Amino acid sequence: MFCQYCGKDNKEDAVFCTSCGKKMKDTVAQSQNVISESTTIIETGKVTSKDKTAAIVIAIIGGPLTWLYTYKKDLAKFAIGFGSPFFIGFIGGAARSKELTALSVLATLGAWIWSIIDASIKRKEWYENYPNV
């Protein structure tokens, strides 16, 4: 059974997580949750979990756009990672400032790298349990 807080795989009868020490969810409640979520997916045709590989590929290709893939948890990161370079570039272009334009390019590159690292370091369980992380 995976810890809902840190994603660590624990024994099925564990009461507390061996990694973070937090109390594990009741397995009966977890089973009922899985059944409920499965029923919802079947009824609505919508899959809520995400795939880590897809997130990393999106990050490599689209940079901060990867946070739209998990927008329910990462919308603030998207706003900062996508908005800051755009805003700095807009101000730099309007002011015809080479320094601000260069800063915008660096901010864009930084946001791109940040998004790849962020998508890579999240555990697979984080994506599988999304958005109930």
Q: Are residues 78 and 115 in the same domain?
A: yes
Structure tokens at 104: 């915008």
* Each residue's pLDDT tens digit, 73-107: 898 999 888 888 888 877 777 777 888 888 888 98
Model pTM above 0.75: no
Q: Same domain, yes or no, for 76 and 114? A: yes
Expressed as residue numbers, the domain containing 68 is 52-124
* Number of helical H runs and strand E runs in the chain: 6, 0
Identify whether residues 100 and 78 lie together within a single domain. yes
Query: Quick check: 57 pLDDT over 90?
Result: yes
Same domain? For 56 and 42 the reply is no
The DSSP bridge partners found for residue 9 are 2
Could you tell me if 8 and 58 lie in one domain? no
Query: Number of folded domains in the chain?
Result: 2
For residue 117, the model assigns a pLDDT of 95
**3-class state of residue 55 by DSSP:** helix
43 pLDDT exceeds 80?
no
